[in-house]
Amino acid sequence: LAKTTQPISMDSYEGQEVNITCSHNNIATNDYITWYQQFPSQGPRFIIQGYKTKVTNEVASLFIPADRKSSTLSLPRVSLSDTAVYYCLVGASMDTGRRALTFGSGTRLQVQP
């Protein structure tokens, strides 16, 4: 399984752009890169998923370089409600094999007013 490494915590202020980088040196050819967000007392919530280059949706962008050994989650103009733990995951494979998600410890983002 590809292991992921991401910062333990980050601080930001409302209105700023936040970039959280995750390294996954051992990513496999068939692995997707997925980011989840988790608020206290809730289950993780899917944010974005990509395989290569750039993916953008209504809440975030995901940048993946050509070697796919890292990825960066970009949150534009964060608000207080973006304070949460963000998990980078690798391993939701495109094949029909292993489906389980492997979570690390995540990055605790604290947004200040």
Where do contacts with other proteins occur on this chain (CB under 8 A)? Answer: 32, 34, 41-46, 49, 85, 87, 92-96, 98-106
Round the CA-based radius of gyration of the chain to a whole number and report it. 14
Between 40 and 113, CB nearer to other proteins: 40
Query: Which residue lies nearer to other proteins by CB, 77 or 98?
Result: 98
Residue type, 54: K
Q: How far is the CB of 66 from other proteins (least distance, A)?
A: 20
In the complex, minimum distance from the CB of residue 30 to other proteins, in angstroms, rounded to a whole number: 8
